[in-house]
């Protein structure tokens, strides 16, 4: 009994000593700190160390898995993140709700390296709140040995030849968006009639679908368990490097292209440091490190010159304008998102 007690006391002591060392950094407001909230595994972590060394600012780095998760944490106001990385439609929503600060672009001189056609997009029309971090597309990843015909249209996902060989993405906006695009509607449609049609398309497709997948879809494609899959472009590049039978196509009807951008939440207490950090991320060498680590498309035109030319020529990563002609960025749908919720629940449950 006594020995157990002694052990416990030592444990608590060790922990409290450790606490002093690591835990309390965030409470000290005088010391220069920067709270970063990013997607999991979405930065080359050596970049953070470099930033710490160069500016003497301590980076506290946290991860989230979905936009909605991040939104809750920032909206509740209990934590003060200085920099966050939401996607397009979430940025629009956060701007509408006044959760973001305007960025002072005088402090971000490296902003000039960002491609002009990726600025002033619909979700942030004046480009006052966000700086693009990565972007990408949604398309069809297919196995060349199993699919002989050309893949250039979403229709192929409805071809009964491939029954039980098709993977759909387990994400309501993306999957319903695919059905809408197939029908020739906008991916941001809020028209109940069009959505009803999209729903019946998905219902028709359901018997052909092997499963609705998240991250595990990548492994199923590498393992050749399925013939084709709806994927994000970065995942496509990764899977193609693991299995050379795979190829990626953006259908001619157009697709969704998405952005993850850097923003400064209203609750931030270290705006100066946040702007330094954003400027740092836009530096071509730093953006290159991140692009090589993460594998998605960089919005930085200087970085593109530095990257392996093979990557830049890869149409999955950097599609030409012809391919992008009919494509759209997701918008915040407001209350209509409930329609999407019910449709997706019905499709998946029946």
Partner 1 sequence: MVEKAIKRIYTALLFIFLYAPIGILIIYSFNESKSRGSWGGFTLKWYSELFKDEKIMTSLYYTIAIAIISSIVATIIGTLAAIGIHKMKPISKQIIMNINYLPVLNPDIVTGVALMTLFMFMNLELGFLSMLLAHITFNIPYVVLAVLPKLRQLNKYLSEAAMDLGATPFYAFRKVVLPEIMPGVISGALIAFTLSIDDFVISFFTAGSGVSNLSITIFSMARRGIKPTINALSTIMFLSVLILLLLINKKSLKEAKKK
Output the known binding site for spermidine: 89
Min dist CB 119 to partner 1, Å, is 25
245 binds partner 1 (CB under 8 A): no
Please report the DSSP string for 29-55 in residue order: SSS-EEEEEEETT-S-HHHHHHHHHHH
Q: What whole-number distance in Å separates Cα of residue 333 and Cα of residue 232?
A: 21
Nearer Cβ to partner 1 (37/162):
37
Nearer Cβ to partner 1 (18/192):
18
Q: Which stretch binds partner 1 (CB under 8 A): 89-97, 113-121, 219-227, 303-311?
A: 219-227
Neighbours of 310 (CB within 10 A): 8
Q: Which of 93, 218, 270, 283 binds partner 1 (CB under 8 A)?
A: 218
Q: Which of 104, 109, 242, 341 binds partner 1 (CB under 8 A)?
A: 242
Count residues binding partner 1 (CB under 8 A): 46
Q: Residues near 320 by Cβ (< 8 Å), separated by ≥ 6?
A: none
Q: Are 317 and 324 in contact (CB under 8 A)?
A: no
Tokens of 4: 């157990």
Q: Residues near 176 by Cβ (< 8 Å), separated by ≥ 6?
A: 195, 198, 199, 202, 340, 343, 344
Q: Which of residues 8-67 bind partner 1 (CB under 8 A)?
A: 8, 11-12, 15, 18-19, 22-23, 25-27, 35, 37, 39-42, 45, 60-66
Q: Which of residues 285-304 bind partner 1 (CB under 8 A)?
A: none
Neighbours of 42 (CB within 10 A): 17
Nearer Cβ to partner 1 (81/135):
81
Write down the H helix ranges in the chain. Answer: 2-22, 45-55, 67-76, 88-96, 172-182, 192-205, 216-222, 233-242, 271-282, 284-294, 301-306, 309-313, 321-324, 337-349
Min dist CB 270 to partner 1, Å, is 11
**Helix (H/G/I), strand (E/B), else coil: 169:** strand
x/- mask, partner 1, residues 82-101, rule CB under 8 A, reads: --------------------
Q: Which of 76, 106, 126, 160 binds partner 1 (CB under 8 A)?
A: 76
Binding site for partner 1 (CB under 8 A): 8, 11-12, 15, 18-19, 22-23, 25-27, 35, 37, 39-42, 45, 60-66, 69, 72, 76-81, 214-216, 218-223, 225, 239, 242-243
């Amino acid at each position: 009994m006594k020995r157990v007690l002694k052990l416990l006391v030592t444990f608590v002591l060790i922990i409290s000593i450790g606490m002093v060392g690591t835990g309390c950094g965030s409470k000290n407001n005088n010391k220069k700190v920067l709270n970063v909230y990013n997607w999991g595994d979405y930065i080359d972590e050596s970049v953070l160390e470099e930033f710490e060394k160069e500016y003497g600012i301590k980076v506290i780095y946290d991860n989230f898995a979905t936009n909605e998760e991040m939104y809750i944490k920032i909206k509740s106001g209990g934590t003060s993140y200085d920099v966050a990385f939401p996607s397009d439609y979430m940025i629009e929503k956060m701007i509408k709700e006044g959760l973001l600060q305007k960025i002072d672009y005088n402090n971000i001189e490296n902003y000039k390296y960002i491609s002009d056609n990726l600025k002033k997009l619909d979700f942030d029309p004046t480009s006052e709140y966000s700086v693009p971090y990565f972007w990408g597309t949604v398309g069809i990843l297919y196995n060349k040995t199993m699919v002989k015909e050309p893949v250039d249209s979403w229709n192929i996902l409805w071809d009964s030849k491939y029954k039980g060989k098709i993977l759909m993405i387990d994400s309501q906006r993306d999957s319903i968006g695919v059905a809408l695009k197939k029908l020739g509607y906008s991916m941001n449609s809020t028209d109940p009639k069009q959505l009803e049609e999209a729903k019946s398309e998905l219902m028709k497709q359901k018997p052909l679908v092997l499963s609705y997948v998240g991250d595990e879809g990548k492994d199923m494609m590498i393992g050749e368990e399925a013939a084709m899959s709806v994927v994000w472009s970065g995942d496509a590049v990764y899977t193609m490097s693991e299995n050379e039978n795979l190829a990626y196509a953006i259908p001619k009807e157009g697709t969704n292209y998405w952005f993850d951008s850097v923003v400064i939440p209203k609750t931030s207490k270290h705006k100066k440091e946040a702007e330094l950090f954003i400027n740092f991320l836009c530096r071509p060498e730093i953006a290159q490190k991140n692009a090589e680590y993460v594998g998605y498309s960089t919005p930085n035109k200087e970085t593109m010159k530095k990257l392996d030319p093979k990557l830049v020529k890869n149409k999955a990563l950097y599609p030409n304008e012809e391919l992008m002609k009919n494509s759209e960025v997701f918008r915040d749908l407001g209350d209509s998102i409930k329609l999407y919720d019910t449709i997706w629940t019905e499709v998946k449950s029946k």
